[in-house]
Homo-oligomer: A and B are copies of this chain.
Amino acid sequence: MDFSGVFPALTTPFAADGSVSLSDLKHNILLYNKTDLAGYVALGSTGESVLLTQTEMEGVLITVKENAAKEKKLIAGCGAESTAATIERVKRAAEIGYHVALVKTPYYYKPIYKAEAQIAHFRRVADASPIPVMLYSVPIFTGVALDPSDVATLSEHPNIMGIKDSSGNIPALAEMIAITPPGFQILVGSAATVYPSLTIGARGAILALACALPEKCAALYQLYRHGQLELAREMQNVLVRASKTFMSEMGIAGIKFVMDQRGYSGGDPRLPLLPLEEWHKKRIIGVLASVEPAAVGACSS
C-alpha cells in the first residue's frame, strides 16, 4: 500500500467539560473527507495522545475509522513506553481496521536506550504486529532521534514499511533515503520541510498544519507531483510562514485556533497545555489573513 501524499496528524477536540468530543472529531473527518488528503493519522503527537486515557484513545480510533472515506489510508499512533504495551496497542489498532501502526521510539530512559534497545524494541513490535509498522522519530518531543543507519537496519524487517521522520534534519533524511531500499516509505513531519524532502525522495508528510489548512497542504503535494515546481515552491513558502506561527510559536493550541477560524472543531487543548491568550489569537488572525489568499481556496464547508 502506497502512503504517498499528505496526512493530517489529527487533533483531538474536547467538550466544554474537558471530555473528548467524538462528535466534533467526526465533524472534522467529514470535512477532511472532501479534500485531497491521503488519509488520517489518529493519536499522533498533535492528537494529545499522551494526555488521553486508554478509553479515550479507543474512542478516537473507532470514530476516525468509522467516518473516514473509503479511499483514505488509516494510520494509528500506537507508541507506548513499554514494548508490551506498544504491542497491545498495535493489535487493537489492527482489529479496529487501521492499515499501519505508527510506533514512536521509547524515550523516557534516553541515556540508557542505546541503538540496540531501540532496534530490539521495534523488531519485537513488528514481529507481533498484524499490520505493517511505521517507525516514528520525533526528537523535538522525545529527545531521541533514530540514526539513519539504524533505520536502514530496521528497514530490512518485512513488517516495517517506512518511517515518519519529524526531525527536520534534511542531511540525515538524505542519508536515510540513500541507504534504505526504494520500497521503504519515508514521510516527514514538519511543514517547513515538505517540499525539499519530496525533491530528494520522501513520499509525503504527516502534518499538524494539515488539520487547519488541509487544502493548501494537499495542494503542495499535488503541485509537486504534477511538476509545477514554481507554484509548489510558492506554496511551500506560504506553509513555512503559517507553520512557524501556528505551530512552532503557538503549539497545538495554535493549530486548534486556526481550525476554529476555518470551520473545523478546534477548541482548547487539555491541561497542562495552556489555552491561548488574546494576543496570541490576534497574532494568528493576522498571519492567517496573509496566508489565506494563497493559490488554493478556503475550506469548502
Instruction: Give A contacts to B, CB under 8 Å.
Output: 18, 45, 50-53, 81-85, 106, 108-113, 116-118, 120-121, 124, 140-143, 168-171, 174-175, 177-179, 190, 192-193, 195-197, 199-201, 229, 233, 236-237, 240-241, 244, 248, 251-252, 270-274
Contacts and interface: CB of A to CB of B under 8 A. Distances in A.
Contacts of A18: 84
Contacts of A199: 195-196, 199, 229, 233
21 contacts: A45-B108, A52-B82, A82-B272, A108-B141, A108-B142, A110-B141, A111-B140, A111-B251, A112-B251, A113-B272, A117-B272, A118-B272, A143-B143, A171-B190, A171-B192, A174-B192, A174-B196, A175-B240, A196-B196, A196-B197, A196-B200
A286 B84 CA distance: 34
Contacts of A50: 81-82, 108
Contact of A170 (B113, B117, B193, B252): B193
A174 B193 contact: yes
A187 to B, nearest CB: 15
B53 A85 contact: yes
Nearest to A140: B111
Given A120-B271, A174-B240, A195-B200, 16 more contacts: A45-B109, A108-B142, A110-B141, A112-B251, A112-B252, A117-B273, A121-B272, A168-B169, A170-B193, A171-B192, A174-B192, A175-B192, A175-B240, A178-B240, A196-B196, A196-B197
Contacts of A53: 85
A284 to B, nearest CB: 15
